């Protein structure tokens, strides 16, 4: 681990980056609520309740330290998560890390500044610098309730960064932080606790179509081919408990479900592109077929964006 370097200026992007993003104007406010639920010894999750833009938040408590995984969107959610963490951890040393930089996962970090050691991988820090301000502006355009939670947000630099992977010894409990991007973002990170509990961030969603933030020309870092490869790596880890970015806590079968979906979208995109279909035609056809095949999954608006990302990458099989 190394002390973080001096802050770099983020690259702003126009509000048009929101084009193609889901319409959230009629969804409930993105508020982290409820008490943490213990899903394994010392591993707690504040469930998202399947509320849009609310992540599953992790609190891992060891004998002498605790780790918080993700904060929710904005300072109010961050303060709520910090309060729940302090209730569980008492006066133990606190760490905070994020599965990725997106606002609903990390834009409550300012509540932890000075109260916890904030740890990002270097790619996360760099991506936050490049895109943080633009994503803040974009998310404010998703609806009044979202904008209200983002009021007063300050983008927070980590206290420490790392390359490769790092293990945090919490006292009788070890949390490994491991970068795996590019996939959902350029700098996704998993957190593996005692080799048993996997926090997968938005690499994984339960009964929700995987979120493919493909917003050209402003953000095209989503990498479907690498995402599939990462899911193969996660399956090889054999976790017993899987905490997705959104949706219910479950087991490793979720990893296979998400992988199967992405492999399907990739194969269909490759086939249609090879037959001469345009990107629009391909996205529409894949959307229709995937909605029917995964009819119990929510947020189908992400299907077409995933197809467009594979199409732009060449539809490689």
- What is the pLDDT, as a whole number, of residue 7? 30
CA distance 80 to 250: 24
| Selection from 159, 241, 191 nearest residue 70 by Cα | 191
On whether the CB atoms of residues 55 and 149 are closer than 8 A, the answer is no
pLDDT in tens, 120-174: 999 999 999 999 999 999 999 999 999 999 999 999 999 999 999 999 999 999 9
Average pLDDT, the chain: 92
Task: List Cβ neighbours of 200 (8 Å cut-off, separation of 6 or more).
Answer: 99, 190, 234, 242, 243, 244, 245, 255
Helix (H) or strand (E) holding 20: none
Here the tokens at position 133 are 């301000």
- What is the pLDDT, as a whole number, of residue 5? 31
- What is the pLDDT, as a whole number, of residue 217? 86
pLDDT in tens, 231-254: 999 999 999 999 999 999 999 999
CATH class in words for 2-254: alpha beta
On whether the CB atoms of residues 99 and 190 are closer than 8 A, the answer is yes
Task: Map out the domains of the chain as residue ranges.
Answer: 2-254
258 CB-contact burial (10 Å; exposed 0-12 / middle 13-18 / buried 19+): buried
E-strand ranges in 70-132 read: 93-97, 117-121
pLDDT in tens, 52-110: 999 999 999 999 999 999 999 999 999 999 999 999 999 999 999 999 999 999 999 99
Helix and strand counts by DSSP (H, E) for the chain = 8, 13
């Amino acid at each position: 681990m190394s002390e973080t370097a001096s802050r770099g200026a983020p690259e702003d992007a126009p509000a048009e980056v929101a084009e193609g993003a889901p319409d959230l104007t009629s969804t409930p406010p993105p508020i982290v609520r409820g008490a943490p639920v213990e899903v394994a010894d010392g591993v707690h999750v504040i469930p998202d309740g399947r509320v849009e833009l609310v992540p599953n938040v992790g609190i891992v408590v060891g004998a002498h330290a605790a780790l918080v995984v993700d904060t929710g969107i904005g300072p109010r959610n961050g303060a709520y998560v910090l309060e729940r963490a302090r209730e569980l951890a008492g006066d133990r040393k606190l760490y905070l890390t994020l599965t990725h930089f997106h606002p609903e996962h990390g834009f409550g970090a300012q509540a932890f500044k000075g109260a916890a050691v904030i740890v990002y991988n270097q790619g996360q820090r760099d991506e936050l610098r490049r895109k943080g301000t633009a994503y803040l502006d974009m998310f404010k355009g998703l609806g009044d309730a979202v904008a209200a939670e983002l009021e007063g947000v300050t983008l927070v630099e980590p206290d420490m960064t790392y390359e490769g992977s790092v293990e945090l010894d919490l006292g009788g409990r070890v949390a490994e932080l491991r970068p795996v991007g590019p996939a959902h973002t350029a700098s996704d990170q998993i957190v593996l606790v005692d080799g048993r509990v996997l926090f997968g961030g938005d690499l994984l969603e339960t009964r929700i179509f995987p979120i493919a933030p493909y917003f050209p020309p402003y953000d095209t870092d989503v990498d479907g081919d690498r995402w599939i490869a990462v899911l193969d790596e996660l399956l090889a880890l054999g976790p017993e408990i899987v905490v997705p970015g959104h949706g219910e806590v479950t087991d490793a079968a979720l990893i296979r479900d998400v992988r199967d979906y992405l492999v399907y979208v990739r194969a269909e995109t490759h086939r249609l592109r090879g037959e001469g279909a345009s990107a629009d035609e391909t996205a529409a056809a894949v959307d229709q077929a995937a909605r029917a095949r995964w009819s119990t999954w929510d947020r189908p608006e992400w299907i077409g964006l995933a197809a467009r990302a594979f199409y732009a990458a060449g539809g490689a099989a």
